[in-house]
Amino acid sequence: MTFVSPSVLACDFSHLADEVLKMEAAGADYLHLDVMDGHFVPNISFGPGVISSIRKVSRLLFDVHLMISDPGKYLDSFIRAGADIITIHAESNGDIGEMIDYIKEHDVRVGLAISPGTSYDVVMPYLDKLDMVLVMTVEPGFGGQKMIPETLDKCRVLRREITKRGLTTNIEVDGGINADNVWLCSSNGANVIVAGSAIFGSNKPRAVISKMKSECELHPFAG
Ligand code: DX5
Ligand code: ZN
């Protein structure tokens, strides 16, 4: 099953609620919320206040991607803001295992993200506890970049390991994905597709989302 998660980073923030509702109407499964602190990545986006505001207007699954140096300090705020999935980066500060446990104890799904330069090895000790692994397909920090296809090799290794362990963990990919290259993601084992500019930049978001899903169904994991 493929899930599409539009990234609001690419939306028109002067009409935030409308943009979110538009994604709901267009058939989005999740809503990807990129939190950036200007320290972990060289860009600043938004925080829990914005997320709790849009929580009031949307029932989509809130997929919160924390690109912040000290996620442990802010987990409570994002839980309170209404996150359904919280993804922390393996490269961030703090005890990764403790943060994973903390998120799960609060009945929020948990994801672990790896940047392009980080090996899948760092995910392996935590895999059994994770709901999702996020394999970054660009350097985190900005929307509108070009996908780095080599990062998809990691999805293949992770998908094989997930199957081997009998898990149902999702593999999310994020960065530079569009309806023309999404098949590379599904055929390498990813099943949650983040796309910002490809969806918000189109005047037919419903068509883009549905093409992405059908491309993924046409190109399942090739092993
Ligand atoms: C990058 C973010 C992505 C980004 C994706 O750091 O994590 O979610 O918004 O945007 P596109 O699809 O435009 O690459
Ligand atoms: Zn993201």
Q: Is 156 in the pocket of ligand 1 (CB under 6 A)?
A: no
- Nearest atom of ligand 1 to the alpha carbon of 136: 7
Probe residue for ligand 1, chosen from 40, 142, 212 as the CB with the greatest number of ligand atoms within 8 Å? 142
Question: Percent of the chain, pLDDT > 90?
Answer: 99
- Nearest atom of ligand 1 to the alpha carbon of 178: 12
Q: Is 174 in the pocket of ligand 1 (CB under 6 A)?
A: yes
Q: Averaged over 43-51, what is the pLDDT? A: 98
User: Measured in angstroms, how far is the CA atom of residue 60 from the centroid of ligand 2?
Assistant: 16
Which are the contacts of 83, defined by CB distance < 8 A and separation ≥ 6? Answer: 33, 51, 62, 64, 108
Residue nearest to atom 4 of ligand 1 (CA): 143
User: Measured in angstroms, how far is the CA atom of residue 121 from the centroid of ligand 1?
Assistant: 23
How sure is the predictor about 223, in pLDDT bands with cuts at 50, 70 and 90? confident
User: Measured in angstroms, how far is the CA atom of residue 163 from the centroid of ligand 2?
Assistant: 25
Separation of alpha carbons 104 and 2, rounded Å: 23
User: Measured in angstroms, how far is the CA atom of residue 9 from the centroid of ligand 1?
Assistant: 7
174 part of the active site: yes
Domains of the chain: 3-218 (3.20.20.70)
Dihedral Cα 26, 51, 182, 221, nearest 10 deg: -110
Residues 12, 18, 34, 153: which is the catalytic one?
A: 34
Residues 37, 95, 174, 180: which is the catalytic one?
A: 174
Mean pLDDT over the full length of the chain = 98
34 part of the active site: yes
pLDDT of residue 222: 86
Burial profile 79-105: b = 16 or more Cβ within 10 angstroms, e = fewer: bebbbbbbbbbbbbeeebeebbebbee
Residue 158 has pLDDT above 90, yes or no: yes
How sure is the predictor about 82, in pLDDT bands with cuts at 50, 70 and 90? very high
Residue 85 has pLDDT above 90, yes or no: yes
